[in-house]
Amino acid sequence: APTRGFFGTHQQGPRPHLEERMQACASAAPAVTVRPSPRHRIRARPQNAFLPSSGSANGARVSRSARLVVRANESWSDSTQAVHNGERGGRPRVSDSLTTPVVMTSTYWFKDTEELIAYQEGRYGSFEYGRYGNPTARACEEKIRLLEGGEDCLLSASGMNTAVCMLLSLVPAGGHIVTTTDCYRRTRQFVQTFMPKMGISCTVLDPSDYDGLEKALAEHPCALYFSESPTNPYLRCVDIERIAKLCKPSGCLVCIDGTFATPVNSRALSFGADLVIHSASKYFGGHNDVLAGCIVGNKEAVGKVRAFHNIMGGVIDPHAAYLVLRGLKTLGLRVARHNENAQKLAERLEAHPKIDRVHYPGLKSHPDHEVAVKYMKGFGGGVSFEVKGDLWATAKFIDSCKLPYIAPSLGGVESLIEQPTIVSYWDQGPEKRAAIGIKDNLVRFACGIEDYEDIEADVLQALEQIPQLE
C-alpha cells in the first residue's frame, strides 16, 4: 500500500538501488555538455555558474557528469569511497530550481591541467577559489547591479568592509578625500584616524557647502568625493548632479552611500555618481538577520575594488548572500511601507508640543527638502527628531516605547529606536559630541512595516510619560 513520505506518495517494498536507477537514467539520456563556456573569464566578472543542461529520463535537468559519478571505484577503500563517490566526476548544475541554490564551497576544481591553463589564459570560466567569487553571491550581485543601473557590482561581508575596500583601493597614498560632516561614525573614524597613516588627507564639509567642494578640488589632488545621501543621523541630502559636474573635470570620483535611500527611492548613478555603496544589512536584507555590503557602478572602479577585496578577504558567506538575494525580492513592497510610515510619523511629530525639531527630507522644513524632491521618489524609513528635554528625559521617552526595539540599525521589518548619544557616541563625552553635532536629546526612529496606527499610538503614549517643558 502506498505511504506518504517527505517527497510524496510512494509504494512500499523493494526499490532499485540508487546506483542502478541513476545509471539507467544516464544511459537513457542524451549526452550534454556541463562545463562553463570558455568565452568568459569569471575571475574578472563571474557569470551564472548554474548552467542549464538538457533533460534526463526522469525530467530533471541535471548534468550528465552528475549522473555518471555515482559509479563506485571499487579499488578504493570504504573511507576513500565515502569521500569521493557520488561527486568525483562533477556536481549537479540544476537549472529547474525555482530558488537560487546556496553553493557552499571554498574552492573550485579543474578536470585536468589543460583546463586549468585555459582558465589562466582566459579561455575557460571559473571562480577558482571562494575568495574570488561564488555563484550564489554572483546572482545577488547581478540583481543589485540591475536595480542600480550599474556596470558591475561586488558583494562583501559588511557595509564597512565595502567602504574600507573602496577607500583603500581608489585613493592613492598622498591623495585627498572630500566627505561630509554628517555621516556614519565608523566611516568618519576610518577616514580621519587610519587614512592619514598613508598620507591621505581629508576635507570635511557641510553637505550643502558646494563652494567648499570647489575650493577643495582646486587646492588638493582630490581622488574621491564620498557622502551618504540621506546622511546619518540628520538625513541631509546632497545635490548629486552638481557634485558630479564639479568633480568630473579633475578626475575626482563621486561615491554616494545610498543605504538610507535604496534604489527604490533614488538611483545616484543615473544622476552622475560613479559609484554607490550600501550596507546591504539594512533594507536589502530587510529582516535584521544578515550582515552584508555592496558597491555598484563604474566597471573600472568596481574592478579595482574587487582586486583589492580579493587580496583582503571580507568575503560574504554564501548563505548570507542568499538572504540578501531573497530580501531584494520584496524590497519595493517593504520600502513603500517604510516610506509611508516615516512620512506620517514625521508629520505627526512636527506638530507635537513635546518635540523641538524633526529631521526628515520629506518635510518642507528640512534644509535639503528641495534637493530630496529632485532625487528621491520616496524619503526613506528613518526619522530623526529632538525631544524637548535633556538626555534623561529623552531616555525616559525611549524606555517608554513598547513597539520598537532599542537597537542600532534600520531597514528591517521591525521598528527600531535609538538615542545616538548613547548608542554610538557615549564614549565621546559631551564636548566631542557637541563638536560633531550629536545632541543629547536626539532620537533616531527606524520605521518598520507595522501598521502606522500602532506606531503612532505607541510614540504618543511614550511622549506622555515625559514632562511638558514651558
Annotated catalytic residue within 64, 143, 145, 282: 282
Annotated catalytic residue within 184, 322, 360, 425: 184
All three cell numbers of 359, joined, read 529631521
Phi and psi at 465, nearest 5°, equal: -85, -10
| DSSP tally for the chain: helices H, then strands E | 18, 14
Is 15 noted as a catalytic residue in this protein? no
| Burial of 232 per CB tally in 10 Å (0-12, 13-18, 19+) | buried
Q: Which helix (H) or strand (E) holds 324?
A: helix 318-328
Is 257 noted as a catalytic residue in this protein? yes
Contact 249, 225 (CB under 8 A): no
Alpha carbon 342 to its chain's center? 22
Closest CA to 467 of 417, 391, 396, 401: 396
Rg (CA), the chain: 27
- The CB density around residue 329, as the number of other CB atoms within 10 Å, is 11
Is 184 noted as a catalytic residue in this protein? yes
Is 282 noted as a catalytic residue in this protein? yes
The separation between the first and the last C-alpha atoms of the chain, rounded to the nearest angstrom, is 81
Annotated catalytic residue within 21, 71, 123, 131: 131
∠ CA 349-355-360, rounded to 5°: 50
Distance between CA atoms of residues 101 and 140, nearest Å? 12
Q: How many residues does the chain have?
A: 470
Q: What SS3 state is found at 354?
A: coil
Catalytic amino acids?
131, 184, 257, 282
